[in-house]
A and B are shown apart, each in its own frame.
Chain A
Amino acid sequence: MSEVIWGLGTSHVPSIGAAMDRGMTAEPVWAPLFEGYRPAREWLADHTPDVAVLIYNDHANGVDLDIVPTFGIGTADRYTVADEGFGKRPVPDVLGHPELSFHLLQQLVDEGFDLTVFGELDVDHGFTVPLSVWTPDPGDAWPCPVIPIMVNVIRYPQPTAARCYALGQALGRALASFPEDITVGVLGTGGMSHQLAGTRAGFINPTFDHMFLDAIQHDPQKLAAMTREDYIREAGSEGIELIMWLVMRGAMNAEITKVHSAYHVPASNTAAGLALFDNRAPVAAG
């Protein structure tokens, strides 16, 4: 069986990647954000899994509005970094793990999650920025193969938070039933609170974000019970991306240990959050 060893929730704001690509991480507006990442990056560097599963959304780069899959999974052996209209990010393409993809697909479909299958997929900042948050200097290759799970969060109606959490729980079971003994990291991406369009543009809700950072560890059921209208009201039209963290959380154990969390406003128009969890239960003190 494969074993989930960690879960990482992180924002995927494009400007975080741009700041890294352009060598701006030490500038005053960016330094606090990247300083907040440092302890998580150090821990992750010592805990490289055999494979990662990354839950993300596309932003009009890998798919368009002709076909909007509510949930999708990649089965390719390689995912090309998308040109989003201003050239590709200078980061490696992503190697996949088709055998595990096909296993997950079959298990998840058998459990009633009828995922759209991507035999080919260009991955945009929603995918590559979380990889950069994890591994700032990948060199020629990311630390391990990565399987994309795509969630529609930009076109209403998005899947419910409860459905995302249930997908994560099914993903956890599917990983556990994989015949090979491999370790897995799971990334849930997006958020935190932000609103890009309309008169509420610039909306940030730190009270909600801090509640979410705590509840994603201790009370994910509470987050899964929130409606999409709750998310849009409390976190903004784009803050609803946070439902993707629930897929990650669902794939983990009931009790997990926080390694590190960080919160910073702003990353361009967005509240940037990070939460890294060890999938083992906390060790009792003494």
Chain B
Amino acid sequence: MTSPSSPTAAETYLFDGPSSRRGRAMNKLFMSLRDEQARATFLADETAYCARFALSPEQTRAVLDRDWQAMLDLGGSIFYIYKLALMDGLSMQYLGGVFTGMTEADFKAAMLAGGRTDV
């Protein structure tokens, strides 16, 4: 039995092999942020920290600018990206708002109203 190398569901972001390969350095950086000392080192000089993990210029810019959509596009896994968001004190609802063009408050309200059932 074979299956497509990635699913066809339109507009559904998913983390597949090519994404994993593209985002490898960036996801390793995010993984390192579980450690308190690493978070302090990162915050002291974010550019140097990105260089240490060999991020591409585009990935470095996305991280420094907190461009969450670009991080996804450049191979970030949401569970790894979330570690950077957590460090910044941001929630998954905030990120949901960013990805869908809503404020965090509007995204939360949409979830409380039963979620987005029409997408």
Contacts and interface: CB of A to CB of B under 8 A. Distances in A.
Given A196-B95, A198-B13, 10 more contacts: A65-B20, A65-B28, A65-B80, A156-B7, A157-B3, A199-B100, A200-B13, A204-B116, A266-B111, A268-B91
B96 A196 contact: yes
Interface residues of B, number: 47
Contacts of A60: 27, 30-31, 77, 79-80, 83
B16 A237 contact: no
Q: Which 3 A-B pairs have the closest CB atoms?
A: A204-B115, A198-B13, A156-B16
Interface residues of A, number: 41
B31 A64 contact: yes
Contacts of B30: 60
A137 interface: no
Contact of B3 (A197, A227, A237): A227
Interface string B86-119: 1100011101100110000001001110111101
B6 A269 contact: no
A154 B77 CA distance: 8
Given A59-B79, A229-B4, A206 B117 contact: yes
B115 A86 contact: no
Contact of A202 (B11, B15, B33, B96): B96
Interface of A: 29, 59-61, 64-65, 83-86, 154-157, 160, 193, 195-206, 227-229, 232-233, 236-238, 265-266, 268-269, 271
B117 A204 contact: yes
A230 to B, nearest CB: 9
B61 interface: no
B66 interface: no
Contacts of B17: 156
Contacts of B37: none
Contacts of A229: 3-4, 7-9
Interface of B: 3-4, 6-9, 11-17, 20, 24, 27-28, 30-31, 33-34, 39, 72, 77-81, 83, 86-87, 91-93, 95-96, 99-100, 107, 110-112, 114-117, 119
26 contacts: A60-B83, A65-B20, A84-B83, A86-B86, A154-B15, A155-B16, A155-B20, A195-B13, A196-B92, A196-B96, A197-B99, A198-B11, A198-B12, A199-B11, A202-B107, A202-B110, A202-B111, A202-B116, A203-B117, A204-B116, A227-B3, A228-B3, A232-B9, A236-B12, A269-B93, A269-B111
Given A85-B83, A203-B116, A206-B114, A197 B33 contact: no
B96 A201 contact: yes
Contact of A155 (B15, B93, B96): B15
A183 to B, nearest CB: 34
A269 B27 CA distance: 22
A249 B110 CA distance: 33
A6 to B, nearest CB: 29
